[in-house]
A and B are shown apart, each in its own frame.
Chain A
């Protein structure tokens, strides 16, 4: 006969949380921040096809770290919920907060019920009419929801990244400056103040453009990414050289 051992609920929850936290912290980092041109989302991602940054709806983006199959499942659920709500009511009735709450409830309900907790951390972000109105909701594996105004970092070195972002964040900065800050944050996690070099092959970048009507989500890749990187490099070298490359980005510095 199998022997049933008593384990306190507290112990079970603590074990699950530790399991989830440990596995999430192994992942690479993602950051999202608000700037004058919109919400910039940057992920360190070795794959160019298995994305961590996604579009949920017209003005709502989604970032995730952790186990791909799990957050992919949650992302599809979010797209379905958003599209159903927009179809039944109106496109403007789909809000980042509504989706974040649905995620919080889903994650919160699954955490105590399932033997293995989901090893994911999500962010639902919405671009507003002004930078100060941008929304960032961070959701953890147990259904906790945090409102983080202005900027957000997730992944193994989230705390360190957040310090860098807190120092440099400016709502009024143009996209190129915000990108430089995001890059600085992502490359600072080598420990002891050392900096890693991040090439464009391991960067996944997207922006929710404030001024764009309809679907505001745009991936920055190819020539647009080259131009953005060139702009960032020329600034960090304090050269006055105009950004070379194709001017396909919408980063006008006026």
Chain B
């Protein structure tokens, strides 16, 4: 690596003061690593990559719960049965993705690093609103490829450590492909099964729901989504695959133990065996 003026030195972009954003830094030193900066020939590319499907998020008395099914599809075939689409964005927030799976996973990796990078450079984390806005900015850079069929839509939820009470601390933000950002009051869902998941949550959700109840409601919403949407995977006891469920509370963001989620999913299946319409 050669710097201007001083051969052998790190390039000047490394030494520039004033930016704490990793993606801004990347746009200077390695723009090819940003998904939105790769020029595509004209055309529609929706079918070249796997699609990630349904994510749900709910506000609870302690923070937020987010869950995602495990399926990715390419057209009419299932390209993955065990993909994970919900991730901790940092110590107090979660992000889930729907849409083009490859780009979505790349966006999540970049976003996680964006938050960590800011925290390391500044010595303090971004506020929850700041994190949500940063994700919108990153999405805007992808608009061109989104219009060519490679759209990614994230769902962001987190625990606001500056909030007065835990009940007010949970926040959910949804996005659209142009980078529009919408704060959700109670719950939201994205992906192909989202209509069915939301309908399910409408009947199950109430304000001030506990984390355990929210986990059950989320797993059931994904069950309902899988029931009616072919691209959403239901709980799979034969392969021991169940939704990924995470929480962000005052204790930080963490994944709910797979065995615990399996128990919840089995309870949902048992209840539906008794009464198929919930």
Residues of A near any B CB (own CB < 8 A): 49, 51, 54-56, 73-74, 76-77, 79-81, 83-84, 86-88, 102, 105-106, 108-110, 113, 215
The reply to whether A110 and B30 contact each other, CB–CB distance below 8 Å, is: no
From A73, A88, A102, A106, name the one whose CB has the most chain B CB atoms within 10 angstroms.
A106
Given contacts A84-B26, A84-B29, contact A77 B117 (CB under 8 A): no
Nearest B residue (CB) for A82: B120
B8 within 8 A of A: yes
The 9 closest A-B pairs by CB, nearest first: A109-B8, A109-B9, A77-B14, A109-B6, A106-B9, A106-B10, A105-B8, A79-B120, A113-B6
The reply to whether A81 and B14 contact each other, CB–CB distance below 8 Å, is: yes
- A54, B123: Cα distance in complex, Å: 9
The reply to whether A77 and B33 contact each other, CB–CB distance below 8 Å, is: no
Residues of A contacting B110 in the complex (Cβ-Cβ under 8 angstroms): 87
- A105, B10: Cα distance in complex, Å: 8
The reply to whether A79 and B117 contact each other, CB–CB distance below 8 Å, is: yes
The reply to whether B113 and A87 contact each other, CB–CB distance below 8 Å, is: yes
Residues of A contacting B164 in the complex (Cβ-Cβ under 8 angstroms): none
B39 within 8 A of A: no
Tell me which of A77, A88, A106, A108 contacts B30 (CB under 8 A): A88
B147 within 8 A of A: no
The reply to whether B109 and A87 contact each other, CB–CB distance below 8 Å, is: yes
B224 within 8 A of A: no
B22 within 8 A of A: yes
Chain B 1-26 interface 0/1 with A at a Cβ cutoff of 8 Å (1 = within): 00101111110011101000010011
- Chain B: how many interface residues by the 8 Å CB criterion? 25
7 contacts between A and B (CB under 8 A): A49-B123, A73-B15, A79-B121, A83-B120, A88-B30, A106-B9, A108-B8
Residues of B contacting A110 in the complex (Cβ-Cβ under 8 angstroms): 6, 9
B84 within 8 A of A: no
B220 within 8 A of A: no
Given contacts A87-B109, A87-B110, A109-B3, contact A77 B121 (CB under 8 A): no
Residues of A contacting B13 in the complex (Cβ-Cβ under 8 angstroms): 80
The reply to whether A77 and B15 contact each other, CB–CB distance below 8 Å, is: yes
- A87, B22: Cα distance in complex, Å: 10
B66 smallest CB distance to A (angstroms): 20
The reply to whether B30 and A84 contact each other, CB–CB distance below 8 Å, is: yes
Nearest A residue (CB) for B2: A109
Residues of A contacting B3 in the complex (Cβ-Cβ under 8 angstroms): 106, 109
The reply to whether A105 and B9 contact each other, CB–CB distance below 8 Å, is: yes
B69 within 8 A of A: no
B107 smallest CB distance to A (angstroms): 13
Chain B 102-130 interface 0/1 with A at a Cβ cutoff of 8 Å (1 = within): 00000001100100110011010000000
A5 smallest CB distance to B (angstroms): 25
The reply to whether B33 and A88 contact each other, CB–CB distance below 8 Å, is: yes
Nearest B residue (CB) for A57: B120
The reply to whether B10 and A73 contact each other, CB–CB distance below 8 Å, is: no
Residues of B contacting A105 in the complex (Cβ-Cβ under 8 angstroms): 8-10
A65 smallest CB distance to B (angstroms): 18
Task: List 20 other contacts, CB 8 Å, given A87-B110, A106-B9, A109-B9.
Answer: A51-B123, A54-B120, A76-B14, A76-B15, A77-B10, A77-B15, A79-B117, A79-B121, A83-B113, A84-B29, A84-B30, A88-B30, A88-B33, A102-B10, A105-B8, A105-B9, A106-B6, A106-B8, A108-B8, A110-B9
- A71, B92: Cα distance in complex, Å: 30
The reply to whether B7 and A87 contact each other, CB–CB distance below 8 Å, is: no
